[in-house]
Each structure stands twice: as structure tokens, then as C-alpha cells.
């Protein structure tokens, strides 16, 4: 049966509201829960949408601003239920952030915070160095990376950075969130307490000389068991210069944010940043990462570390105002890494943000202007994609790969940054449209955020969700999303060959290449939601 695609969380009263119909209709109605017609309008033909294979039309009901719960109906089809109101996005927003609490490793998740989704303390034993088991270290804590239980420094730093920048730019939305976490009420915004949980762990991954282990994990991914039942030995995998630079960067960034709330802690972060930066200064060589034989958990290798170093020096300049760091950052600009990427794997965009948000540059600084133009030209390209998409998704066919919702949300971030930092306010609505796509204005008609709404993903590739014996899915997790090249094996059964890219998805637990969750897929969604809520 036909359905009508809307943002299932809903819409703020003043926001644009456009439903997408994957069929032709002349008119549509918006009806409330009593069956009363709240709005009537004409559909606009869009035509064929390549990435979905759908011929669509659009129903614009932006004028409807009255609080309530509604469905859009046209012909014999109806949309899922959604809300219009000041608080329409509150629950989804809070859940997206609270997912990090459920990602926590090394502590018990107790019923008073976790509700029914409890688990025991996990992965608390000391980890041994992979190549010398006699070297052991306590590196407990932090967030599990994803559906697996590995903890990797570079994705961890990336997720934390996206969250901290969301806080820097949108403190009104994030600062007042009540997350009901163990730290709630301690005087620090809950949001920052949650990110601190990851930063504390990241600092444990630093060696005495400042170099940083690339990751800690078991040798293989755990079977599908609750985290406290994953008893495999934990290993510290060798250092990398990416991990070392990212640690320096995110700690310097943390210093800027936490100094307002806890100067001792901020000082600790800055010391950690300086230690790792000192190590980088002495060793300009790129030390990449590859899994040694026998280790098959996430690799997170990168082809170079110039972007990581650029980020680290830029953050150090922003944190301290010391020009020597700025000079180092500028020297790295001779290399041609992307300046507007927010990870994972390519993170130069954070260095750019550090510079722009440092508060240490004059109003009409040339480099700042150049950085802003880069964000804007990126946004122009993305807007072009969104305008030719039946679903308003700023996505190219090739963007529908593993974790495509990260791409979608990072594109939302670019639009948001253009509005917030670059004075290009015309891109704001495009950020909102990407969030709409995530929340249901997509060719599978699903909210890619678990929980809450009528048609949300409910079977993500996430070990605790799969093994807790509870039917209901833990809310707030962003699924990887449509992938035009899902890992072969069982995918074909659910996603036949030739399925259009935007439809290459199935809400099936085993399909990790389309339906896993990660800490760095939630974070850009938090960023975009915070932008909308601020």
C-alpha cells in the first residue's frame, strides 16, 4: 500500500513542512487525531527521483502551525502520525543524546538511569599491549564504538568533537537537557557530563610519553552477548599519529568548553593535549594503523595525518591563543586535505571550526573568510543535490554507502555551519530538510532513529539491543541507513540486486552494513537537531 513520507518526530510550528508522496495525487489533506481536516492543499508534481526510483509529488503544509498530532492523507494513502508544536522534537532530541549513556562501557547501567535497558559493568579488566602482554593498563570507560564492543580513539575523538562543537554553537539547546544520567545535578550540564565520560577514557589511552594507543578491543568482535558477558581478553593496539593528534585536538577543545564549569578538569585536559602535541612535534612522521595479524576488530586506518595535525594545532591555538600553534597549523595548509570534513577518517573541518570559533581572530580575517567560502561552496554543491532530489536529500548516488546517514547528517552540519558561522542563512532550511530525511522523508518511509514513532527502525545491529531479551528497542540510535552495496551473503534476501540506492535498506539485525549504529553516526544527528532546537 502507498504511504506518505513525513518527518515522524514532527515539526516546529514555524518550520517548513513538506510531505513527499511516492505516487501522483492532485490534492492532500492533513487530519488531526479526531479525524477533523486541519489543512487542505494541492500537491506539486516533482517527477522522477533517480536515487529512489520513485515518481513523487510534494505536499506543502507549512502554513499549518496549530499544536496537535496529525496525518497527511491523499488518495488512499496516509502518513504515519506526527506532531506539530514547540516541543515536537524534544523527545527525539533527548533520545539521540541519551543514546550515549547506553553506549557507555565500564560501568553498570542501573534501572534508575537506564530504565529497563540495564546491563552490568563491562570490559573492566586491564588491557595488555598486543605485542607485549606484560604491559598492562586500565583503560576502562568510554563508549562502545558501535554495534560491536571495540573502543577506538579516532572515531571516539570525532564523535566527541561533533558533540562539543554542537555545544559551542548551540548551547541553549544542549545546555539545559536533563538526561537522567548518574552525574545529573552535579552542576555541570548533563550533556557535558556525558561527553566527559568519553574524554576521561580517551585520556587513559595516552601513554606516558604522549603517544596514544589506536584502540582497545578483543582480538575478534564478541558474539552476540550482553557486554558484561563478553569475557575476551582486552588488547591495546599500537599507537598511531592520527590517534595522538586527535587526542591532543579533542582535549584542547574540551579545555575550551569545560573551563567554565570545572577548571581543574579543564587543566587536566590541556595538560593531556600538550603532552600529545609535544610528542607530535618531535615526531613529524606519519604513523598509520593496520590491524596486526590475528586482530580483526575495527581498523580505522587513514592515509595520512596532516588533517589530524592541523586540527590539533588549530585547537591548541584556540585554547591558548599562542601564535606558535597557529603558525604550525598554517604551515600544514600547504597540504591538500579537505578543510570542511567532519570525520570519520578525514577531520580537517574541525581545525577549520577551531579557527572560526576561537574568538582570537579579527573580524575580517583573510583566512577566516577563505574557510567560510569553503563551507559555502560545499553547501552550494549539496544544495544542488538536494534540489534535484525528490526527497530533498543532499545525497549523490555514491553517498549511499556504508553509514550513509552519517553523510546525510554531516551534510546537514555543513548547512547549519553556513547559517550559524558564515552568515549564509539561506542554507538553514536545507539542514532541516536533511533531518526530515533521517526522520522519515525517505524512500523507505522509516525513521532511522530507533524508538518513539510509528515507523522507526527497531532491529539495529547493536549487541545489547539484540541480547537484552526486551522486544522494544533502546531508543535514540541512528541506523547506518541505505547502502547501495550491502555486504553480500544474506543481504540479497532483503535487498534484491538492482534495488535503487535510497531503498537499499532493511531493518534487520544481521545486516550490519545497513543497520548498525555508531557513536559517530549519532553525533552529527545531535548536531543538526541541536541546530534546529536552538
- Report, as residue numbers or ranges, the catalytic residues: 148, 461, 507, 516
Alpha-carbon gap, residue 236 to 127, rounded angstroms: 6
Q: Does 215 bind Zn ion (CB under 5 A)?
A: no
Handedness of CA 417, 403, 228, 110 (dihedral sign): positive
Minimum CB separation of residue 302 from Zn ion in Å reads: 25
Distance of alpha carbon 45 from alpha carbon 60, whole angstroms: 11
Rounded to whole angstroms, how far apart are CA atoms 392 and 221?
A: 37
Query: At closest approach, how far in Å is the CB of 144 from ligand 9MR?
Result: 9
Question: Please, which residue, 122 or 160, has the CB nearer to Zn ion?
Answer: 122
Q: Which residues bind ligand 9MR (CB under 6 A)?
A: 145-146, 148, 150, 298, 402-403, 512, 516, 518
- Determine, following the binding rule CB under 5 A, whether residue 109 of this chain makes contact with Zn ion: no
Tell me how far apart the alpha carbons of residues 103 and 121 are, in angstroms, rounded to a whole number: 12
Site string for Zn ion, 53-92 (x = CB under 5 A): ----------------------------------------
128-136 long-range contacts (CB < 8 A, ≥24 apart) are 128/233, 128/234, 128/235, 128/236, 129/235, 129/236, 130/235, 130/236, 130/237, 130/238, 130/292, 130/295, 131/238, 131/292, 135/236
**Region near Zn ion per CB under 5 A, out of 65-73, 120-128, 241-249, 449-457:** 120-128
Is the Cβ of residue 122 or residue 250 nearer to Zn ion in the bound state?
122
Q: Is-contact 252 315, C-beta < 8 A?
A: yes
Which residue sits closest to ligand 9MR, CB atoms considered?
298
Residue 49 contact partner, candidates Zn ion, ligand 9MR, none, CB within 5 to 8 A by sort of partner: none
**Beta-bridge partners for 70:** 32, 82
- Is residue 227 involved in binding Zn ion (CB under 5 A)? yes
Q: Which does 145 bind (CB under 5 to 8 A by kind): Zn ion, ligand 9MR, none?
A: ligand 9MR
Residue 216 sits in the site that holds Zn ion (CB under 5 A): no
Residue placing its CB nearer to ligand 9MR in the complex, 514 or 528:
514
CA distance 430 to 481: 19
CB of 459 to ligand 9MR, least distance (A): 15
CB of 261 to Zn ion, least distance (A): 27
- CA 400, distance to chain mean position in Å, is 16
CB of 119: closest distance to Zn ion in angstroms? Answer: 9
Determine what percent of the chain falls in helix, strand and coil, rounding each to the nearest 5: 40, 15, 45
Q: Which residues of 129-151 are buried (b: 16+ CB within 10 A; e: fewer)?
A: bbeeeeeebebbbbbbbbbbbbb
Q: Which is nearer to ligand 9MR, 402 or 494 (CB)?
A: 402
464 contacts Zn ion (rule: CB under 5 A): no
Question: Which of 148/190 has CB closer to ligand 9MR?
Answer: 148
CB nearer to ligand 9MR: pick between 375 and 512: 512
Give me the count of residues in the chain: 534
The count of residues interacting with Zn ion (CB under 5 A) is: 4
Tell me if 123 contacts Zn ion by CB under 5 A. yes
Buried b (16+ CB within 10 A) or exposed e, 364-385: eeeebeebbebbbebbeebbeb
CB of 463 to Zn ion, least distance (A): 10
Burial class (CB in 10 A: 0-12, 13-18, 19+), 285: exposed
Contacted entry of Zn ion, ligand 9MR, none for residue 123, CB cut-off 5 to 8 Å set by kind: Zn ion
Residues near 374 by beta carbon (within 8 Å), at least 6 away in sequence: 339, 340, 352
- Please say whether the beta carbons of 360 and 410 come within 8 A: no
Mark the segment that binds Zn ion (CB under 5 A) among 114-122, 215-223, 509-517, 525-533: 114-122
Q: Cβ closer to Zn ion: 123 or 221?
A: 123
Residue 516 binds: one of ligand 9MR, Zn ion, none (C-beta under 5 to 8 A by kind)? ligand 9MR
Q: Which does 298 bind (CB under 5 to 8 A by kind): Zn ion, ligand 9MR, none?
A: ligand 9MR
> Looking at beta carbons only, is 162 or 518 nearer to ligand 9MR?
518
82-84/10-11 β-pairing: parallel
Residue 122 binds to Zn ion (criterion: CB under 5 A): yes
| Min dist. Cβ of residue 402 to ligand 9MR (A) | 4
The answer to whether 355 and 366 are in contact (CB under 8 A) is no
From the CB of residue 297, how many other CB atoms can be counted at a distance below 10 Å?
22
The residue ranges that bind Zn ion (CB under 5 A) are 105, 122-123, 227
Amino acid at each position: 500500500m502507498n504511504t506518505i513520507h513525513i518527518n515522524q518526530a514532527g515539526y516546529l510550528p514555524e518550520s517548513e513542512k513538506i510531505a513527499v508522496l511516492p505516487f501522483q495525487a492532485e490534492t492532500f489533506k492533513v487530519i488531526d487525531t479526531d479525524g477533523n481536516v486541519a489543512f487542505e492543499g494541492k500537491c506539486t508534481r516533482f517527477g522522477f527521483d533517480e536515487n529512489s526510483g520513485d515518481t513523487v509529488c510534494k505536499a506543502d503544509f507549512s502554513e499549518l502551525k496549530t499544536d496537535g498530532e496529525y496525518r497527511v492523507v491523499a488518495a488512499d494513502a496516509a502518513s504515519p502520525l506526527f506532531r506539530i508544536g514547540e516541543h515536537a522534537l524534544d523527545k527525539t532530541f533527548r533520545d539521540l543524546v541519551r543514546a550515549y549513556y547506553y553506549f557507555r562501557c565500564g560501568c553498570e547501567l542501573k534501572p534508575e538511569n537506564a530504565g529497563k535497558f540495564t546491563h552490568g559493568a563491562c570490559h573492566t579488566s586491564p588491557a595488555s599491549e598486543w605485542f607485549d602482554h606484560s604491559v598492562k593498563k586500565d583503560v576502562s570507560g568510554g563508549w562502545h564504538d558501535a554495534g560491536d564492543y571495540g573502543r577506538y580513539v579516532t572515531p571516539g575523538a570525532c564523535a566527541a568533537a561533533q558533540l562539543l562543537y554542537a555545544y559551542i554553537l548551540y548551547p541553549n539547546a544542549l545546555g539545559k537537557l536533563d538526561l537522567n544520567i548518574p552525574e545529573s545535578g552535579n552542576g555541570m550540564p548533563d550533556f557535558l557530563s556525558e561527553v566527559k565520560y568519553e574524554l576521561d577514557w580517551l585520556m587513559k589511552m595516552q601513554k606516558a610519553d604522549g603517544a596514544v594507543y589506536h584502540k582497545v578491543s578483543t582480538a575478534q568482535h564478541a558474539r552476540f552477548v550482553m557486554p558484561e558477558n563478553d569475557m575476551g581478553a582486552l588488547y591495546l593496539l599500537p599507537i598511531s599519529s592520527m590517534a595522538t593528534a586527535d587526542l591532543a585536538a579533542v582535549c584542547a577543545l574540551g579545555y575550551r568548553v569545560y573551563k567554565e564549569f570545572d577548571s581543574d578538569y579543564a587543566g587536566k585536559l590541556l595538560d593531556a593535549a600538550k603532552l600529545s602535541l609535544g610528542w607530535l612535534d618531535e615526531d613529524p612522521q606519519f604513523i598509520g594503523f593496520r590491524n596486526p595479524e590475528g586482530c580483526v576488530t575495527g581498523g580505522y586506518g587513514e592515509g595520512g595525518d596532516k588533517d589530524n595535525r592541523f586540527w590539533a594545532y588549530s585547537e591548541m591555538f584556540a585554547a591558548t591563543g599562542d601564535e606558535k600553534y597557529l603558525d604550525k597549523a598554517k604551515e600544514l595548509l600547504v597540504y591538500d586535505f579537505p578543510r570542511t570534513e567532519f570525520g570519520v577518517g578525514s577531520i580537517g573541518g574541525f581545525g577549520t571550526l577551531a579557527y572560526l570559533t576561537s574568538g582570537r581572530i579579527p573580524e575580517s580575517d583573510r583566512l577566516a573568510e577563505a574557510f567560510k567560502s569553503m563551507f559555502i561552496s560545499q553547501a552550494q554543491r549539496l544544495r544542488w543535490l538536494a534540489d534535484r532530489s525528490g526527497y530533498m536529500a543532499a545525497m549523490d548516488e555514491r553517498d549511499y554507502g556504508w553509514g550513509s546517514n552519517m553523510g546525510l547528517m554531516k551534510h546537514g552540519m555543513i548547512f547549519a555551519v553556513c547559517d550559524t558561522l558564515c552568515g549564509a542563512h539561506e542554507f538553514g532550511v536545507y539542514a532541516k530538510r536533511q533531518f526530515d530525511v533521517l526522520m522519515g522523508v525517505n524512500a523507505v518511509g522509516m525513521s532511522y532513529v530507533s524508538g518513539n514513532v510509528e515507523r522507526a527502525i527497531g532491529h539495529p545491529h547493536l549487541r545489547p539491543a539484540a541480547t537484552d531479551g526486551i522486544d522494544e528497542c533502546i531508543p535514540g540510535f541512528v541506523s547506518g541507513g541505505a547502502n547501495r552495496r550491502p555486504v553480500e551473503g544474506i543481504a540479497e534476501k532483503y535487498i534484491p540486486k538492482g534495488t535503487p540506492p535510497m531503498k537499499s535498506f532493511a531493518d534487520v539485525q544481521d545486516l550490519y552494513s545497513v543497520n548498525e549504529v555508531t557513536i559517530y553516526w549519532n553525533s552529527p544527528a545531535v548536531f543538526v537537531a541541536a541546530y534546529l532546537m536552538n
